[in-house]
Structure 1
Amino acid sequence: MTDQLAPGANPLTVVAVRSHRHRAPLLRPFITAARRTESVDYVVAEVELAGGTIGQGSAAETVAVTGESADTISRALDGPLRAAVEGVTDSVTGLSARVAAALEGATSAKAAMEVALHDAWARDAGRPLVELLGGRLDDGLMNDMTISLEDPEVMAQHAREAIGAGEQILKIKLGHDIALDRERLAAVVEAAPHARLRLDANQGWTPEQAIEIITGFTADGLPIDLVEQPVAAANIEGLARVTAAVELPIMADEAVWTADDARRLVDSGACDLLNIKLAKTGGLRGALEIAEVAHAAGVECMLGAMMEPRISITAAAHLAIAHPAITMIDLDPPAWFASDVPAGGYRQDGAWLRLTGGPGLGLEPLPADVDRAGGDR
């Protein structure tokens, strides 16, 4: 990316690592083919540098995807991840490598620590993180709004509300029931006929079902931009069959966690697009590696997210705006939260997401007593 990412640049000394847990209710349930979520338990990581600069990152409980609960995230942050960086002087690249090597798995917890390190690094430099990643603060990307998996009439109402609020791209959750999926999509199209659509089956179809239903959508002339992870993540051969058989672009999500995954998918022609998520990659460095693989292959990427809080989403937005391979974002989770904390980071202008500036992530510190897990707000 840039010389600012060189291993020897800007050494940091980490003097303390802390974490605190939170719970945030959602405005309404978020439903996919894989799970139903009504509130989000998450953990905030804080990294303090010599001189007093503090950076923050976060990780949401995503048992169904990464296998991590709030308990395991807290244990990872307070145990091996803290031990990996506390008292260490190194570049942000070197510190990130220590985080990656500290334990197996725990990608969400690693992302929280690694984002906190990058926030502290950029704050210490007095610059927005996007600039240190090689991007421009003034750039932005068009966001989407997810319509979760419910009865057709409910999805139609949510689509109308989203378009009324200025959204232009709707991400439609589908999966499992082919006939009902057709009804759901028809209801959304009727409610929002001018919206662009992104479909996400969350691994809900077999390859044969995916080919049948996607071919039908194409024949109907529906305004669909892409179909995300139509088949099981492990079924790379099936994903490749779908990609070869349909006209619509196919995006891999659950199938891509690392740069090696990305390279295998791209080289085998198993998909047309990649969805990068910090909670899968273990943070910004792993995400950058995937984006570089995609960029070299001429493949476009989406920067997506789990149902994660504003800190995580802001970090993802900085990376997305910085990297040329990332042309799409799916960063609407904070719009689902009943509380919008911490302040700053980014703003949504209609369908457009834009960074607000300020050093690091541009966020205010999140107090430990806000949205406390197991207690009142």
Structure 2
Amino acid sequence: MTRTTITSVTVEPLTIPLLEPFAIATGSVDAASNVLITITLQDGSVGYGECAPFPPSTGESQETALAAARGCAELLRGQNVANWRVLAKLIRSHFYAQATVCTGMEMAILDALTRSYGIPLYTFFGGATSSVETDLSIPLVSPEHGYELAQDAVEKGISSIKVKVGGGLREDVDRVEAIRSGAPHVGLTLDANQGYTPNEALLCLEALNDRDIRPLLLEQPVAKDDFEGLRYITNHTSVPIAADESVSSPADAWRLISMGAVNVINIKLMKSGFVQALDIAALCRSTNTQLMVGAMIESRLAISASAHFVAGLGGFRFIDLDTPMLLAEDPFTGGYEQRGGAYDLSAIKSGLGIERR
């Protein structure tokens, strides 16, 4: 037994209410219904991981994630976290249908390992930078409320707003226009969460262009398996088109890139896990495809992990890691220091730098 051998793995629910319901094209939630994983090593190092299942996107629920995580815990006891890639492969071979559980376990393993090594996780991933700057999302709300939320975002020092669309063209255009009025000097990206047909997506962009609004990005306009629809939109607009739900693996990313179907790939650790996320990022770099990072409804814990990943690798054009700002309470401290939309990791001594309150 070495100092980086796993001596215990605990699994528990992590439920955190939202400040207000968060609605997107595929559903609405009023709480983060997640799972917390804690791994302890022989040398006393403790690593934390979070699973953030979102049924419309991942096909998982808190209940299925809890069950799978408890089964996964039995696999990991007595294993050496220094062999983190081997363990990631082992976990995925048994629980491939529970992607967020695979990610949560990888997260806890890497947190424990880098705490034991005495280095921050972003340094472990390459140390390209020590800070990232996120946007802030506005869900499917009325134009009036969107205007208010946009003004609040500006007051918080946010420099980019992500607007949820895909609920209905007229309402979407009115919402985006109201948000532009509330935050006239802030960059806007759009996320349809599979809510459009290809023609509806182009009509939305055309209607916004008529109002002198050009978004920086349109994310996942069509159903996740409509690769041809993505290509059609990309070929008929100059607005960058991003794939989110369509990409869970390097194979998905390569298919879309080789088709010329998208300009941007959104990496979400909850979909791909760390090992596959590294492969997707390398693929995008080698093909000059722009990189984006996003999240499910995640707490400071999982968002910190994504921030460390992005800071370590560098080169991400779009960063959407705002969900801790949507939660009514925060059960964790550390992970980063926030100023406006900027997450500063430079004070982290080891691992994720996360502690429980």
**What's the TM-score once normalised by structure 2's chain length?**
0.95
Matched, 1:53 2:45: yes
In structure 2, the partner of 1:91 is 83
Task: Report the CA distance between 1:60 and its aligned residue.
Answer: 2.1
Task: Report the CA distance between 1:29 and its aligned residue.
Answer: 1.1
In structure 2, the partner of 1:353 is 343
Q: Aligned partners of 1:351, 1:331: CA distance in 2, in Å? A: 9
**C-alpha distance after superposition, 1:209-253 (max 9, x if no partner):** 111221332344314110100111110001000001001000100
In structure 1, the partner of 2:109 is 117
Residue identity opposite 1:109 in structure 2: V
In structure 2, the partner of 1:304 is 294
Q: Aligned partners of 2:104, 2:314: CA distance in 1, in Å? A: 24
The 10-residue stretch of structure 1 (229-238 or 64-73) with the greater mean CA deviation from structure 2: 64-73
Tell me if the contact between 2:25 and 2:165 (Cα under 8 Å) persists in the aligned partners: yes
Residue identity opposite 2:40 in structure 1: E
Task: Report the CA distance between 1:255 and its aligned residue.
Answer: 0.4
Task: Report the CA distance between 1:263 and its aligned residue.
Answer: 0.7
Q: Aligned partners of 1:142, 1:88: CA distance in 2, in Å? A: 36
What is the DSSP-based 3-state SS (H/G/I as helix, E as strand, rest coil) of the residue aligned with 2:270?
helix
Matched, 1:18 2:19: no
Q: 1:278 aligns with which of 264, 269, 274?
A: 269
Q: Aligned partners of 1:327, 1:209: CA distance in 2, in Å? A: 26
Matched, 1:316 2:306: yes
Q: Aligned partners of 2:34, 2:325: CA distance in 1, in Å? A: 16
**C-alpha distance after superposition, 1:74-97 (max 9, x if no partner):** 111111x22332112351222222
Matched, 1:171 2:125: no
Task: Report the CA distance between 1:259 and its aligned residue.
Answer: 0.5
Q: 1:63 aligns with which of 55, 77, 95?
A: 55
Task: Report the CA distance between 1:285 and its aligned residue.
Answer: 1.3
Q: 1:77 aligns with which of 55, 66, 69?
A: 69
| Number of corresponding residues | 354
In structure 2, the partner of 1:37 is 29
Q: Aligned partners of 1:88, 1:322: CA distance in 2, in Å? A: 26
- How many percent identity over aligned positions? 34
In structure 1, the partner of 2:183 is 192
What is the DSSP-based 3-state SS (H/G/I as helix, E as strand, rest coil) of the residue aligned with 1:51?
coil
The 10-residue stretch of structure 1 (186-195 or 235-244) with the greater mean CA deviation from structure 2: 186-195
**C-alpha distance after superposition, 1:185-218 (max 9, x if no partner):** 1111111111100101111110011112213323
Task: Report the CA distance between 1:11 and its aligned residue.
Answer: 8.9
Q: Aligned partners of 2:314, 2:320: CA distance in 1, in Å? A: 16
Task: Report the CA distance between 1:139 and its aligned residue.
Answer: 2.7
Q: Aligned partners of 2:190, 2:351: CA distance in 1, in Å? A: 33
Q: Aligned partners of 1:121, 1:150: CA distance in 2, in Å? A: 42
Ranges in structure 1 where 5+ consecutive residues have no aligned partner: 1-9, 368-377
The 10-residue stretch of structure 1 (286-295 or 96-105) with the greater mean CA deviation from structure 2: 96-105
Q: Aligned partners of 2:85, 2:175: CA distance in 1, in Å? A: 45
Residue identity opposite 1:225 in structure 2: L
What is the DSSP-based 3-state SS (H/G/I as helix, E as strand, rest coil) of the residue aligned with 2:194?
coil
Q: Aligned partners of 2:32, 2:204: CA distance in 1, in Å? A: 32
Q: Aligned partners of 1:114, 1:323: CA distance in 2, in Å? A: 17
Matched, 1:327 2:326: no
Task: Report the CA distance between 1:300 and its aligned residue.
Answer: 1.5
Ranges in structure 2 where 5+ consecutive residues have no aligned partner: none
Q: 2:153 aligns with which of 162, 177, 182?
A: 162
**C-alpha distance after superposition, 1:296-334 (max 9, x if no partner):** 111121110011111110000000111134232100000
In structure 2, the partner of 1:107 is 99
Residue identity opposite 1:280 in structure 2: K
